[in-house]
Amino acid sequence: MKSRYTILLAIVLTVIVIAPAEATPGSKNAQATAGNDATVDVGNKATTSATKEATAPAGKDATTTAGKNCNGKGRNDKGYYKDIFMDGGIVLNSRTDLPSTLYMGYSLEYFASAPTKQLTAVDTMLQTAMMVGSAIDENGCLLYPDGAPRFRMIYVNGGKSVQHGKTLGEEGLQRFRDFVANGGSYLGSCAGAYMTATYIRKSKGPEFCDWYPRIWPGMVRYTQLGHSWIDLDIEPGSALLKYYDFGGDMRIDSVRHNGGCSADTSRYWPKGTEILARYNQGDRQLKRRIHGEPAIWAYKADALSGRVIACGSHPESVLYGERNQLMAAMEQYAMEGNGLPRVKAELTPGEVRVMDKFTHDADPAFTRIGDKQYHHFTVEVPEGCDSLVIKLDPVKGAENYDLWLLAHPGDFAFLGEAAWLNVDYGVKKHIGIKAPKAGTLYISVYCNTTVDTITTDYGTQYTGRTDVLNGVPYKIKVSFPAKSAAGTE
């Protein structure tokens, strides 16, 4: 395993040597400071701050609905680089694995900072480069260049919620908001659960959570139970029961608890919030009675956004049994709630569409494609069309990538499902279709070029084709020639 200083030097050299000259985005000035103790931080000062709206990847001329999904397959599990990213950053628990994720066979990458008492400026620089952005990955590893989620889910560990939010800064918090608003799901335990909230209940009343992503418009409350355990009762009809019956008694015994929260139903209770489990303190005498309060809850704003799940306790480290199943069930339900795919735009026959913008151009409808990402387009095929030709071409200087071209009538074109595809090497592609069926034809571009990874002291480091992180430019055109040779070149 490489030292943190060696990794930092490698990142600096990568920025200098590997990043293409044309791919230099705007500078990053995120300045974060680490906390200096390991206690659970559950509050923050109430300063007025408006919630910044998430930036949707659809763009100004793109289709902002999920498009047609004729077969009802809800194909929200495709078009991601990997399944789960785990945030074990500054003043959070620096886990390096999730037993439930291994159990389910999900792919996992992570960031793990040094322990709180060993934090240095290096940790801040590494966290910022990975989760906020750098010259070689302008908006960080969570998002594609156009703002779409690069992972299906982010998991946030326990620790000190407010201080972690401060180390991310407003730009880093916005990454979380965009991630969820644009279809990525979120799961957090303890501190990670606090960070979902917009308000926290204090003795003087609700306080606005300045340093949280605020991806659930509700309020949490401190349980006042630390360094202990608590039983959880699965709510009747809970979505978690789709995956496991938890021994048939609907109870999960002795889940670790260390200063976590509950959802407060007395005020700011958002419509659509689902209670998945409640605390059961039995006959124990606690500082505050939390029996029956929501311990796990879920929220999904709409069909295009991801699902947010918050858990006040700590089931994530258990290797087997019902607590492990609880964590696995939350992961599955979160990712089942990924947002539906979006259409970039309807292509105009005969016109070349150039997809060459960077993240900092703030024009997602024309932004480059990321690794393992799909860009979806449509074209309306008229009645009696003799033939249709789709062409994909490289932008000068960006020929050394593998982009694939797919098409499917009436529904999104994905690998393994598309009626037509061209997966030759390189960018340049051609699909010709004789007598296409009238109606909506979905056309997709898929980027098969991706990074390599190595595991370091702080988590996952990207190597190899890191130039793909800021996106691959391309040109696409569809036309209806009167007569043309069909087939795929």
Contact between 40 and 191 under an 8 Å Cβ cutoff? The reply is yes
d(CA 113, CA 44): 22
C-alpha 208: how far from chain center: 24
Q: How confident is the model at residue 14 (pLDDT cuts 50, 70, 90)?
A: very low
In this predicted structure, the answer to whether residue 34 has a pLDDT above a threshold of 70 is no
The mean pLDDT of 343-355, rounded to a whole number, is 98
Contact between 40 and 190 under an 8 Å Cβ cutoff? The reply is yes
Give the pLDDT confidence score for residue 3 in this predicted structure.
54
Tokens at residue 93, please?
């628990």
The mean pLDDT of 146-167, rounded to a whole number, is 98
Tokens at residue 276, please?
């998945």
In this predicted structure, the answer to whether residue 62 has a pLDDT above a threshold of 80 is no
Tell me phi and psi for residue 228, to 5 degrees. Answer: -150, -155
Listed in sequence order, the residues at least 6 apart from 162 whose beta carbon sits closer than 8 Å to its beta carbon are 41, 42, 43, 44, 194, 211, 212
Tell me phi and psi for residue 183, to 5 degrees. Answer: 120, -10
Show me where the domains of the chain are located: 31-336, 345-488
Q: How confident is the model at residue 482 (pLDDT cuts 50, 70, 90)?
A: confident
Fold of 31-336: Rossmann fold (3.40.50)
The mean pLDDT of 199-204, rounded to a whole number, is 94
Give the pLDDT confidence score for residue 312 in this predicted structure.
98
Place of tokens 């010709």: 432
d(CA 475, CA 353): 6
Return the amino acid letter for 72: G
In this predicted structure, the answer to whether residue 269 has a pLDDT above a threshold of 50 is yes
Give the pLDDT confidence score for residue 76 in this predicted structure.
82
C-alpha to C-alpha distances, 9 to 19, 90, 150, 221, 466, nearest whole angstrom = 15, 20, 25, 42, 16
The correct CATH number of 345-488 out of 1.10.3720.10, 2.60.120.380, 2.60.40.10, 3.60.40.10 is 2.60.120.380
In this predicted structure, the answer to whether residue 369 has a pLDDT above a threshold of 80 is yes
In this predicted structure, the answer to whether residue 201 has a pLDDT above a threshold of 90 is yes
d(CA 107, CA 434): 40
Strand partners for 251 = 233
- Of 44-48, 272-276, 313-317, 327-331, least confident by mean pLDDT is 44-48
Tokens at residue 212, please?
């949280």
Tokens at residue 324, please?
């492990």
Tell me phi and psi for residue 107, to 5 degrees. Answer: -80, 145
Give the pLDDT confidence score for residue 73 in this predicted structure.
46
d(CA 14, CA 332): 36
User: How much of the chain exceeds pLDDT 70, in percent?
Assistant: 83
Place of tokens 């990874």: 453
The mean pLDDT of 427-432, rounded to a whole number, is 98
Contact between 344 and 148 under an 8 Å Cβ cutoff? The reply is no
| Full-model pTM | 0.87
Tens of pLDDT, residues 284-294: 999 999 999 99
The mean pLDDT of 408-426, rounded to a whole number, is 97
The mean pLDDT of 338-367, rounded to a whole number, is 98
In this predicted structure, the answer to whether residue 261 has a pLDDT above a threshold of 80 is yes
- Of 24-28, 158-162, 193-197, 296-300, least confident by mean pLDDT is 24-28
In this predicted structure, the answer to whether residue 305 has a pLDDT above a threshold of 50 is yes
Give the pLDDT confidence score for residue 483 in this predicted structure.
57
pLDDT, the chain, mean: 87
Q: How confident is the model at residue 71 (pLDDT cuts 50, 70, 90)?
A: very low
User: Torsion angle of alpha carbons 36, 39, 43, 46, nearest 10°?
Assistant: -20
d(CA 486, CA 489): 9
Contact between 306 and 183 under an 8 Å Cβ cutoff? The reply is yes
In this predicted structure, the answer to whether residue 121 has a pLDDT above a threshold of 80 is yes
DSSP 207-271: EE-TTS---S-SEEEE----SEEEEEEEPTT-GGGGT--GGGTTEEEEEEESS-EEEE-SS---T
Residue 288 CB neighbours (<10 A): 12
Q: How confident is the model at residue 4 (pLDDT cuts 50, 70, 90)?
A: low
Tell me phi and psi for residue 224, to 5 degrees. Answer: 60, 25
The mean pLDDT of 5-21, rounded to a whole number, is 42
The mean pLDDT of 169-182, rounded to a whole number, is 98
d(CA 57, CA 154): 18
Q: Beta-strand (E) ranges in 98-181?
A: 108-112, 151-156
In this predicted structure, the answer to whether residue 416 has a pLDDT above a threshold of 90 is yes
Tokens at residue 452, please?
């390599």
